[in-house]
Chains A and B, each alone.
Chain A
Amino acid sequence: MPPLDKFFHKKIALVNLASGTTAVEPWPRSLANEAERCIPGGSAAAAVLSGIYGDALVLATGPLTGTMSPGSSLLVASCPVSGGAYAHVPILLRHGTALKTTGVDFAVVSGKASSPSILILGSKGPRIEPAGGLSGLEVPGMRKFFRARLPETRHSLLLCGPASGWGSCGSAALENGTSLDRGHLAPWMSNHNLLAIVLTGGGSLPFAGGRRPLFDKLGPKSGIGGFLDVLEHVEGGAQAKGTAEKILGRPAACHSCPWPCMAYLKPGPSTNGLLCADHAGFAALCGACPDSLPSALEACLRLGIDPVSGASAFRGVQPDAFGKAIENLFAGVPPAKGPEFSFPLLSQKEAPERALAGMVLGICPILVQRCPDIPVGQWAAGPDSDPEAASFGDMLKASLQLAAKARTDAQQEDMEIRHG
C-alpha cells in the first residue's frame, strides 16, 4: 500500500456548470495510477486532473489536509489563466479541511453556467443552485446571505465580490475577509458565472487522530519570526515593517496552525479591527493614515479586491472616497497574468521546492518554507518516522516533478508570450 494512502477518501466530485450535473465518483484511472508512484495531492493531483478535464477549476486537498499536522488546512485551487498558463492558488484558513470533510479529496468544476450560480459542496454531495439574491451584493452582504440560507452549519466561502464583475484583477475574498488569490481564481469564477463556492463540510475524515508531536518541535526550533519578518524580504519592506508594527494588533492563525502569522488591524478608538491575512504589507503599501487604514482595508474586502494589489489606490485619497478610488483603478483592467504564485519570503535555494511540497502535501506553503529545520518528509511521516514512509522521499520527488511539469510548461509559454 502506498504511504499516505489512508489519508484519502479516494473520491472526486465532478461538477459541470454548463449542464448543471454533479457527481461523486472514484478517482479516475490515471490518477489512481499516479498514486502508485507519487503522492496524488494538491497541485500534483491538479496537474493530473487538469490533463483529463481540460479547462477546469480543480479544488484539491493534500494527504495531510485535515490532520493535526501543523498548518494543514490548505486547499489548492488550480485554474487556467490567460496565456494558457495554470495558476495554483493556495487557500488557507479552514477551507481545505472543509472540502475534505465533505467526503471528497478533489473537486473538478468545468463548463460555464448560463446564469449566475452557487456551488455548494457538502457532505451530501455537490449541488449547483441559482445565485438568486446573491448577485449584486457586496461581500459582507454575501456572507449574511449565506448565514441565512445555510443556518446551523459553519461554512467556508469562496466569494467573488463586485470587483470580479468589472472584468479586472479582482480577487476572491474569502470568508474572513482575506485573500491569497492574486487575481487568478476570481476572474475564472466570474467568467464561468460562478459567484460563490460554499464548503459546508459536516462529514467525517478518512482518518482519525493526528500528527501533533510536530507542534512542539515547530515553535522554538524553527526560528521563525512574526509576520513582520516577511516584510523584510519584500521590496521596500523595511519601511513597511515600521509602519505596520504600529498598526497591527494581535496575531491569528489558520486552522490547525500553531504559528500565528496573520494579524488584526489594531482597533482604534472609533474603528473596528479587521483581519489581515497575507497582506500585513498593506498597511505600509497604501500610505493611508493609520486612522483610515481599517476603512481602506474594509473597502477592498467589501468589493472583493486583493488588498495588496489595491493598496496603491489609496494614496492621497480621502477615506470617504476609498470605494470610488478602487473602482477607478481596477474597472476594466484585465486580470493579472502570471502562471504561478510567488512567495516573497525566503531567498533560500530550496524555497520554491519546499513551497511546492507544501502545496502537494496540503500544508501551508508559507509555514513549510519558514521552518527550514524540519525536513518536509518529516511533516508527512511525523517525528517517529513511520516505517511505511520509507519510500516517501522518492514519491514526494515524483509528485513534485509532476506538479512542476505543468508549471514549467506554462512558464515557458508565458516567457515566450512575454518576450514575444
Chain B
Amino acid sequence: MGSSTCRIPPPNPELQPQQGPGHRSYGRLPAPAEVRKPSGSLWKSWKNKIRPKREPRMVFDPDRCTGCGTCEAVCAARDGSAPDASRIQILREETAGANFAVFCQHCLDPLCLPACPQHAISRGESGIVSIDSRLCAHCGLCIQACPEAAPQRGPDAKVLKCDLCGGHPECVEACPHKALSFSSGKALGWIKLLRWPVQVLSFLFFVIILIGTVCSVSVADLSFGCPFGLLQNIAASKVILLATVFAAIFLVFLTILTGRAACGWLCPFGFFLDLVGKIVPQRFQLPRFVRTRLAKYGVGAAALGVSGAVGYQAFCTVCPIGTICRSYGLQSVVGGAELAILPTVAAMEVSEKRSWCRYLCPVGALLALCAKIGLIKIVIGASRCKKFSCMRCASTCPMGIIPESDLREGISPKLDASECIMCLRCVDTCPHSAVKIRFRWQKGVPAERRAPCGASNGGGQCLR
C-alpha cells in the first residue's frame, strides 16, 4: 500500500527543519517561543485567581463604524494584497442598517483548533490564535468550523487570519472613527469583593452567632422566617398565624425586589455549597432524571403534602439550610445525627455547582416563583457580548442558566429570572460589560450611544 510509506514518521524530525509549505509535518514543528509556558510561581497563580489576567482583544463598536474599510486597506497593505482579501472584513447589513466587522476573536476555546487536520492552528501564551503557515494546507476547514467564518481566503486561495499583528493591531490605529479598540476590558470585578464578605457575615450571623436558625429568627421585635417553612406549617396545622406570615413575607418581598439574591448572597447553605464547589472539581454528571429544574417544585409540593398528612413540618427535618444552622449551639446535640444530610447534599457538587439549588431545593422553588414576578432581571447585551469567543459567563454561572450552545451559535442568551440567584458572577466576570441588571420591563442592554462621528472629524459633521 502506498499509504503505509507516508504514514511512517522519519527517525528524527529535528533533522528536517526545511519543509516547504504544504508539506506534512511528521509530528509537530518546534513550537514558537511564545507557546512555551513560563515557570509559574504560587504567587502568580494566586494573583491570577484574584485578578484574572485578561489578554487585550480587539473590540468592535458597531455604532461608530461607518463601513469605510480603512482597516481592510491597512490590513491588506501588510500582505500587499487587495482589501477584499484582508484579514478583517467589513460587511454592510443594509436591512438592519448596520456595518459589522468580521475578524478573528481569538476565542478562549477556539473551534478552529480541533477542526484543523494539519494541527497548524495554535493558541499562544498571550492568547493569540494563529495559523502556522508552514503547516497550513489551506483546506479551509477552519472557515467552516468558525461561527462567523472569520478566517479569510486571500490571494491564491490561501487562508489568512488575524494574528493581531503580534499584539499591535494596525487596523485599530488606522480606524478614523475609533470603532475598533484594543483593550483587555475592565480589569477588576468588584462585586465578588462585596459578595464574599456578605456571604461570610450572613453565614456567621445565622449559623454561629444566632442561637436559633435561619428558619425563624427574632431579633428584638423584628422576626424573620422561612416562607416555605410557613407554608408547611399552614399545611400541617391548618391555622394561619398572622405574626408568622409577617415574618415570612420579608423574604418574599426581598425576592420580588432583588430576585433570588437571598439564595446567592444570604443563604448559609448556599455559601457552604459555594465553598465545596470551589474545592471539589466538577467531573461527573447526574442522571438525566435528576437534572430537571422542575424537580424542585415537585419536591416542594410533596413536602407540603407530607406535612399535611403527618401534621408537622416534614421537610424542615431534612432541610440542609436548617440543618447547617442547627449544627451549632444548644441544639447541636439533636443536629449531630441530622448533619449526615450535609455531606450527602454537598457531594452532589461533584457533578455541577449548586446542584441542590438548581434541581431540588423547595425553598428555592418558592423563591423562584416570587422571582418570576420580580422587578429585575439580568440581560446580556447583543452587540457587546463577544459570544463564542469568550463564554466566561457561561462557565462561571453557578446555576448553569447561561446556555453555552446559544453563545456558540452567536445568539444572545435569554436568562430565566426565576433560575437566577443574582450572585452577579456573570456581571463581574464579563470583560466587555455586556451583562447588565435591568428592570423587567426594559427591553435589553441599550447600546452605548455616542456621537456617531469620531472626535477626529471635528464638530458639526454628525447627521444628527
A and B from one complex: yes
**Of B5-13, B82-90, B105-113, B434-442, which binds chain A?**
B82-90
Kindly state whether residue B20 has any CB partner on chain A within 8 Å: no
Known contacts A227-B463, A264-B97, A273-B95; is-contact A253 B458 (Cβ 8 Å):
no
**Mask for A96-114, Cβ within 8 A of B = 1, else 0?**
0110110000000000000
Q: CB distance B82 to A97 under 8 Å?
A: yes
Bound form: Cα–Cα A307–B463 in Å: 20
Among A123, A209, A250, the most chain B Cβ lie within 10 Å of the Cβ of A250
New A-B contacts (17) at CB < 8 Å, excluding given A154-B89, A202-B82: A66-B83, A153-B84, A203-B82, A204-B81, A219-B176, A219-B458, A228-B463, A249-B463, A250-B66, A250-B452, A250-B463, A250-B464, A252-B66, A252-B68, A257-B68, A259-B457, A267-B96
Q: Are A210 and B84 in contact (CB under 8 A)?
A: no
CB contacts under 8 Å to B, within A236-287, are 245, 248-260, 263-267, 272-275
A208 at the interface (CB under 8 A from B): yes
Q: Are B452 and A251 in contact (CB under 8 A)?
A: yes
CB < 8 Å: which of B84, B92, B456, B463 contacts A251?
A: B463
B80 located at the interface, meaning its Cβ lies under 8 Å from any Cβ of chain A in the complex? yes
Shortest Cβ gap from A294 to chain B (Å): 9
User: B97 and A176: CB pair below 8 A?
Assistant: no
- Which residues of A are interface residues toward B (Cβ below 8 A)? 66-68, 73, 94, 97-98, 100-101, 123, 152-154, 176-177, 201-205, 208-210, 212, 215-216, 219-220, 223-228, 245, 248-260, 263-267, 272-275
Asked if residues B84 and A97 are in contact (CB atoms below 8 Å), the reply is yes
Does B82 contact A254, Cβ atoms closer than 8 Å? no
Instruction: Please state if B77 and A275 are interface contacts (CB–CB under 8 Å).
Output: no
- Chain A nearest CB, measured from B206 CB (Å): 49
Interface centre among A67, A123, A205, A266 (most CB of B within 10 A): A205
- Could you name 7 residue pairs across A and B whose Cβ atoms are closer than 8 Å? A208-B77, A226-B453, A227-B463, A249-B97, A251-B453, A254-B68, A260-B177
B221 within 8 A of A: no
Contact B74 A275 (CB under 8 A): no
* Chain B residue nearest in CB terms to A255: B69
Question: B456 near A68 (CB under 8 angstroms)?
Answer: no
> Is B461 in contact with A226, judged by CB distance below 8 angstroms?
yes
CB distance from B384 to the nearest CB of A (A): 17
Q: In the complex, which residues of chain A have a beta carbon less than 8 angstroms from the beta carbon of B68? A: 252-258, 260
Q: Mark B445-464, 1 if CB is under 8 A from A, else 0.
A: 00000001100111011111
A204: chain B residues at CB < 8 Å are 80-82, 155
Residue in A101, A152, A252 whose beta carbon sits within 8 Å of that of B67 in the complex: A252
Please report the number of residue pairs spanning A and B whose Cβ atoms sit closer than 8 angstroms: 145
- A177, A223, A225 — most chain B CB neighbours (10 Å): A225
Check if B99 is an interface residue, CB within 8 A of chain A. Answer: yes
How long is the Cα–Cα vector from A245 to B464 in the complex, in angstroms?
A: 6
The distance from the CB of A26 to the nearest CB of chain B, in whole angstroms, is 21
> What is the CA–CA distance of A219 and B66 in the complex, to the nearest angstrom?
14
Enumerate chain B residues within 8 angstroms of A272, measured Cβ to Cβ: 95-97
Neighbouring B residues of A226 by C-beta, 8 Å: 453, 460-463
Q: State the interface size on chain B (CB cutoff 8 A).
A: 39
Q: How far is the CA of A204 from the CA of B153 in the complex (A)?
A: 13
Docked Cα-Cα span, A226 to B451, in Å, equals: 13
Give B460's nearest chain A residue, CB to CB.
Answer: A225
- Contact A267 to B97, CB < 8 A, known contacts A68-B70, A208-B80, A258-B176: yes
Nearest A residue to B68, CB-CB: A253
Write the nearest CB–CB distance from B393 to chain A, whole angstroms: 28
**The residue from A153, A205, A257, A274 contacting B97, defined by CB atoms under 8 A apart:** A274
Known: A94-B69, A251-B462. A101 touches B82 (CB 8 A): yes
Q: How near does chain B come to A243, taking the closest CB pair, in angstroms?
A: 13
CB neighbours of A223 from chain B (8 A): 458
**In the bound complex, how far is the Cα of B458 from the Cα of A403, in angstroms?**
35
**Inter-subunit contact B457/A219 (CB<8 Å):** yes
Report A-chain residues with C-beta under 8 Å of the C-beta of B462: 226, 251
The reply to whether A255 and B72 form a contact with Cβ atoms under 8 Å apart is: yes
Contact partner of A68 (CB less than 8 A), chosen from B67, B74, B84, B96, is B74
A220 to B455, CA, bound (A): 9
Q: Closest CB-CB distance, A103 to chain B, in whole Å? A: 10
Bound Cα distance A101, B154 (Å):
12
Interface string of B169-189 (1 = CB under 8 A from A): 000001011000000000000
Q: Is B422 part of the binding interface, using a Cβ–Cβ cutoff of 8 Å?
A: no
Across the interface, do A245 and B70 meet the contact criterion of CB distance under 8 Å?
no
Q: How far is the CB of A72 from chain B (nearest CB, A)?
A: 9
Q: Mark B41-73, 1 if CB is under 8 A from A, else 0.
A: 000000000000000000000010011111011
Q: Which residue of B lies closest to A298 (CB)?
A: B95
Interchain CB contact under 8 A, A274 and B155 = no
B94 close to A177 (CB less than 8 A): yes
A264→B68 CA distance, assembly (Å): 14
Distance in angstroms between the alpha carbons of A267 and B95 in the assembled complex:
9
Q: Is the CB of B66 within 8 A of A260?
A: yes
**B residues within 8 A CB of A253?**
66-68
Give bound CA distance, A245 to B460, whole Å. 13
Would you call A220 and B77 a contact (CB within 8 A)?
no
A-B pairs with the 7 shortest C-beta distances?
A: A273-B97, A101-B82, A253-B68, A208-B80, A258-B176, A260-B66, A201-B84
Bound CA span A223–B457, Å: 9
By beta carbon, the residue of chain B nearest A69 is B73
Give bound CA distance, A41 to B77, whole Å: 22
Query: A residues within 8 A CB of B153?
Result: 152
On whether the beta carbons of B94 and A275 are closer than 8 Å, the reply is yes
Which of A153, A256, A266 has the most CB atoms of chain B within a 10 A radius of its CB?
A: A256
Chain B residue numbers with a CB within 8 Å of A212 are 70, 74, 174
Task: Tell me the nearest residue of chain A to B149, going by C-beta.
Answer: A152
Tell me, rounded to whole Å, the shortest Cβ–Cβ distance linking B73 to chain A.
5
* A residues near B452, Cβ cutoff 8 Å: 250-251, 260
Residues of A within 8 A of B77 (CB): 68, 208-210
Docked CA distance A219–B456 (Å): 6
A214 CB, nearest partner CB in chain B, Å = 11
Q: How far is the CB of A383 from chain B (nearest CB, A)?
A: 16
Alpha-carbon gap, A249 to B176, bound state (A): 19
CB pair A97 B83 closer than 8 Å:
yes
**Chain B residues in 8 Å Cβ range of A274:** 94-95, 97
Query: Using Cβ atoms and an 8 Å threshold, which residues of chain A touch B66?
Result: 250-253, 260
- Chain B residues, Cβ within 8 Å of A201: 82, 84-85
* Residues in chain B near residue A251, CB distance under 8 A: 66, 452-453, 462-463
User: Which of A208, A219, A254, A272 has its CB near the most chain B CB atoms (within 10 A)?
Assistant: A219
A101 to B462, CA, bound (A): 33
**Complex interface: chain A residues within 8 A of B74 (CB):** 68, 210, 212
Chain A residue contacts of B97, Cβ below 8 A: 249-250, 264-267, 272-275
Q: Looking at the assembled complex, report how far the CB atom of B92 sits from the nearest CB atom of chain A, in whole angstroms.
A: 5
B96 lies within 8 A of A273 (CB): yes
CB neighbors of A among B289-332 (8 A): none
CA distance A245 to B97 in the complex (A): 16
CB distance from B284 to the nearest CB of A (A): 43
For A260, list chain B residues within 8 Å (CB). 66, 68, 177, 452-453
Of the listed residues B74, B84, B176, the one surrounded by the most CB atoms of chain A closer than 10 A to its CB is B84
**Cα A166 to Cα B452 with chains together (Å):** 40
Chain B residues within an 8 Å CB radius of A100:
82
Task: Name the residue on B nearest A205 (C-beta).
Answer: B82
